[in-house]
Structure 1
Amino acid sequence: MAAGTLYTYPENWRAFKAQIAAQYSGAALKVASTTPAFTFGQTNRTPAFLQNFPLGKVPAYQGDDGFCLFESNAIAHYLSNEALRGATPQAAAQVLQWVSFADSEIIPPASTWVFPTLGIMQFNKQATEQAKEDVKRALTVLNQHLNTRTFLVGERISLADITVVCSMLWLYKQVLEPSFRQPYNNVNRWFITCINQPQFKVVLGEVKLCEKMAQFDAKKFAEMQPKKEAAPKKEKAPKEAAKPQEKKEKKKEEKKEEKKPAPEEDMDDCDAALAAEPKSKDPFAHLPKSTFVMIEFKRKYSNEDTLAVAIPHFWDNFDKEGYSIWYSQYKYSDELTLTFKSCNLITGMFQRLDKLRKNAFASVILFGTDNNSSISGIWVFRGQELAFPVTDWQIDYESYDWRKLDSDSEECKTMVKEYFAWEGDFKHVGKAFNQGKIFK
């Protein structure tokens, strides 16, 4: 029987999968989530931790025998027994099917919809509306499957149920209000049955279902952002004689204490890692001040109609001296396989380029179908140079061909309209790809 320690931060739904599995299997699992056993953002950056878990991500598992695992699904699988994993090859494959379903069909739209309501991600109206539709589609699939079943695989709870419940936990707590979830009675029955099992309850506690759909709170989002250090005030020279040296030293020590940042709040590990990275010099600081205010355009784009409001605002205010517009096309279309993996390729790049958000905007689209697709997009950068080579944020850009567009040309205006609105003829995209679905 497995025995070891799970390193995580409090209320990490990914860690819940392993904890619930351990409750069913009887694995001896210790959870290190608070100081002094484990401090997220500190312990996971130490050489000793990184030697066992090179990515520094949590949850991470270390067995009493020294065996180490990262990635929550692998940990949950290891801590499960045969009944949870699937007693037959067919059942095991079905369990894996639903685990993959949670990762590809539930977690991406759930994150897009829920994270802004928690204040850990900026709100994007179009992305949120698309996420709601994707969640409905996933719920429909589950509802049909559970029409004649109590659980996802077999006649009792398996790792499939544990994984899918945990992936939907924040949906049910934050946004799936009664009117939204009403059409999915089979899913609701199954979810409530699972969370009320003793093995779930001891980990999750009482789960209160959403009564009113949570909305984006701009104030909360601003509070969650890392605070900038205020520049120390210059002291006026005293009129009287200088004070004793030890008092000066004491003042210096006090100022040093004031400049220490407040401890990081617990948040999603990706966002916390970004927030905790040391601030680097602004590579755009040397550029003249621009009349185009990127954040104002992004608010229009996120919250108002794209064609009627956001795009006219963009062209009315665009500063072609201070900003440039670029077209990107993924070089390796022949290597793209499943569309959900290609979508993850795009979102992963965006997440790792979070530092560019104040000085850049992009709309990137996947065209086509499984094993026959292409990726291309429009990017707006501060300055006249491609942003990646002049910064330290050279994320994935070498996998794309880049072409600077003339902002006064009809070609540019058409492409901006099509890519920003996610609709149009897209004549520059290969016909075979353009005839397929547009994945936004």
Structure 2
Amino acid sequence: MSQGTLFITEQTRGVVPKGLVQYFKLDVKISNKEDEQFKKYFPLNYIPAFVGPKGLKLTEVSAVIEHLLNLAGEKKLKGTTELEQVQVNKWISFFNTEVISTSARIFLPLLGKAPYNKKDIDAATERLDTIIQIIEARLSEFTYLVGERITVADLFAATVIGRSLETIFDKAWISKHQDIFRWFSTVSAHPVLSWRYVDFKPRDKPVEYVPPKKEKKEKKKEEKPKQEKKPAPAAAEQSDEPPVEKKAKHPLEALGKPKLAIDEWKRFYSNEETRESAIPWFWEHFDADEWSLWKVTYKYNDELTLTFMSNNLIGGFFARLTGSIKYMFGCAVVYGENNNNGIIGGFMVRGQDYKPAFEVAPDWESYSYEKLDPNSEEDREFFNNMLAWDKPIVVNGEEKEIADGKVLK
């Protein structure tokens, strides 16, 4: 009897699951998003995914990897002690949520797969430098991320670093981070990954952004009177700088100026007592025809570990939303405690659709979006609590204390 079907693409998160199926010769079919079974069972379109016997349906890379290891009867790659297993989960979560999203903010725009914004790329580069320092601090003293032998944390993390080595980490970067490259070279040679990195060579230089070519205007057929040629400008007046391209307008700009000036609300919220003054002011001025309210929930709360790391995740998400800062306001909080926490938030967005505001962030699909009804007492109370942070969050009927949070303003 087949052990199930694994759905993957060529993206980073699919490399280890595919490698495990191949290495352990599991009776698992490998398919993709075009499979009708995938479309039926996974409406969120998230990869990797797994369908097994008895109605088993899995998403989230850590869950899929663990299930494949269980099918293979492999225990050593998961960590040999309970403490090691916790650390394996920690590193997988760290690379999945923090490293992938931050590095993608750099290489996706450079590859032309996301809007190019130099300010956003510089901010992501600075954050990635801090992340690399954390990884390097571990690998400068130890051979692997957990213990003294390869675990699945190393395998997954190596594919994430490998993607950056194929795009933004060049030979100059490697010369400064030899401990990480030594680790990558060792781990990528493991049979679970070696098929992916057979002919791997470091880049000489990072990928460079190439601005899209401007379309040439068609010449008019009507003949125009010849004009005398103007003398070419003097050499000193000529410039080698490329012409500055006009920045594309944000789609929400077409909605025009609203009655509620969002900057006025942001100033009021920042300077006044939240419950006593800010919340009453908000509902007095809120116009449901011009603005919409949304509950935004992180999809992968089961992969979060330390609360400060979850709060950093919010900060990174907010940094990637700066392109829409004129059209939205929001608060997101971390609830719960270390190794048992989640992220949820309340946002006000220009217009009635969340997508134009949020899709400027490469990781916007890592969150789910539920429209709130400003006339619903329950929805109003949720939004008020997101503004005030002074009451526990109710999750699945259970109260969770707010540990931290951030405001997008």
Work out which of the residue numbers 128, 141, 152 in structure 2 matches 1:148.
Answer: 141
> Match of 1:53?
42
What TM-score do the two structures reach when normalised by structure 1? 0.54
Distance 1:26 1:374, change over 3 A: closer
User: What's the secondary structure of 1:30's corresponding residue?
Assistant: strand
| Aligned counterpart, 2:184 | 191
1:126 is displaced (CA, Å) by 1.9
Match of 1:31? 30
> Are residue 109 (structure 1) and residue 102 (structure 2) matched?
yes
User: Partner residue of 2:205?
Assistant: 212
Residue in 2 that maps onto 1:257: none
> Who is 1:387 aligned against?
351
Partner of 2:16: 17
> Do the aligned residues in 2 keep the contact of 1:104 with 1:340 (CA within 8 Å)?
no
Q: 1:219, CA displacement in angstroms?
A: 2.3
Instruction: Find the aligned partners of 1:322 and 1:122 in 2 and give their Cα distance.
Output: 29
* TM-score using structure 2 length: 0.57
Q: Pick closer, same or farther for the CA change 1:389–1:54 going to 2, 3 Å.
A: closer
Structure 1 residues 169, 438: closer, same or farther in 2, change over 3 A? farther
Structure 1: give runs of 5+ residues left out of the alignment: 34-39, 224-292, 299-313, 401-428, 431-435
Q: Quickly say closer, same or farther: Cα 1:77–1:206, change in 2 above 3 A.
A: farther
Q: Secondary structure at the match of 2:166?
A: helix
Pairing of 1:113-132 with structure 2 (within 5 A): 113-132=106-125
Q: Sort the Cα spacing of 1:101 and 1:116 in 2 relative to 1 into closer, same or farther, 3 A.
A: same
Cα distance, 1:130–1:346 mapped onto 2, change above 3 Å: closer
Change in 2 beyond 3 A, CA 1:324/1:219: farther
Residue 341 in structure 1 maps to residue 310 in structure 2: yes
* Residues in 2 aligned to 1:103 and 1:77: alpha-carbon distance in whole angstroms: 15
* Residue identity in the other structure for 2:109: P
Q: Decide whether aligned partners of structure 1 residues 19 and 129 sit closer, same or farther in structure 2, where only a CA change above 3 A counts.
A: same
CA displacement 1:81-122 (0-9 Å, x = unmatched): 211111210111111111122123311211111111222111
Structure 1 contact 17–162 (Cα < 8 Å) conserved: yes
Q: How many residues align?
A: 302
Q: Percent same amino acid among aligned pairs?
A: 22
CA contact 1:174–1:213 (8 Å) conserved in 2 = yes
The verdict on how the C-alpha distance between 1:216 and 1:346 changes in structure 2, with shifts beyond 3 A counting, is: same
Pairing of 1:424-439 with structure 2 (within 5 A): none
Displacement of 1:75 in angstroms is 0.6
User: Among 77, 93, 100, which residue is 2:66 paired with?
Assistant: 77
1:6 Cα deviation from its structure 2 partner = 1.3
> Any conservation in 1 of the 2:112–2:209 contact (CA below 8 Å)?
yes
Q: Which amino acid aligns with 2:5?
A: T
> 2:4: which partner in 1?
4
SS at match of 1:198: coil
1:297 Cα deviation from its structure 2 partner: 6.6
- Rounded Cα–Cα distance in structure 2 between residues aligned with 1:392 and 1:364: 15
Q: 1: distance between equivalents of 2:160 and 2:262?
A: 38
How far 1:349 moved relative to its partner?
8.9
Unaligned runs of 5+ in 2: 216-244, 280-294, 296-305, 338-342, 359-368, 375-387, 390-404
Check if 1:94 corresponds to 2:93: no
- Determine the C-alpha separation between the residues in 2 that align with 1:338 and 1:105: 13
Once the 2 structures are TM-superposed, how far is the Cα of residue 171 of structure 1 from its aligned partner? 0.8
In the TM superposition, residue 175 of structure 1 has moved relative to its aligned partner by 0.4
Change (3 A) 1:6 1:437: closer
Aligned amino acid, residue 106 of structure 1: V
Structure 2 Cα separation of the partners of residues 349 and 135 of structure 1: 15
Pair 1:68–1:203, CA change in 2 (3 A): farther
Rounded Cα–Cα distance in structure 1 between residues aligned with 2:357 and 2:122: 30
Closer/same/farther in 2, CA of residues 180 and 322 from structure 1, 3 Å limit: farther
Q: How far has the Cα of 1:54 moved from its partner?
A: 4.3
SS at match of 2:143: coil
Say if 1:85 and 1:92, in contact at 8 Å, map to a contact too: yes
Q: Is the 8 A contact 1:177 1:210 kept in 2?
A: yes
Structural mapping, 1:6-405, within 5 Å: 6-9=6-9, 11-33=10-32, 40=33, 42-43=34-35, 46=36, 48-63=37-52, 67-80=56-69, 81-219=74-212, 295-296=247-248, 325-326=262-263, 327=265, 338=307, 340-342=309-311, 344=313, 361=327, 386-388=350-352, 395=369, 398=372
Q: Could you tell me which amino acid in structure 1 is paired with residue 52 of structure 2?
A: G
Task: Classify the secondary structure of the residue corresponding to 2:212.
Answer: helix
Structure 1 CA distance for aligned equivalents of residues 370 and 246 of structure 2: 23
**Structure 1 residue 180, shift from structure 2 partner:** 2.5
AA partner of residue 310 (structure 2): K
Q: 1:58: Cα distance to partner?
A: 2.2
Q: What secondary structure sits across from 1:200 in the alignment?
A: coil
**Structure-2 change in CA distance of 1:25 and 1:126 (3 Å):** same
Deviations 1:8-61 (A, max 9, x none): 22x22111121233355453333223xxxxxx3x43xx5x53553343322211
Residues in 1 aligned to 2:352 and 2:194: alpha-carbon distance in whole angstroms: 48
Read off the aligned partner of 1:208 and give its amino acid letter. K
Structure 1 residues 130, 120: closer, same or farther in 2, change over 3 A? Answer: same
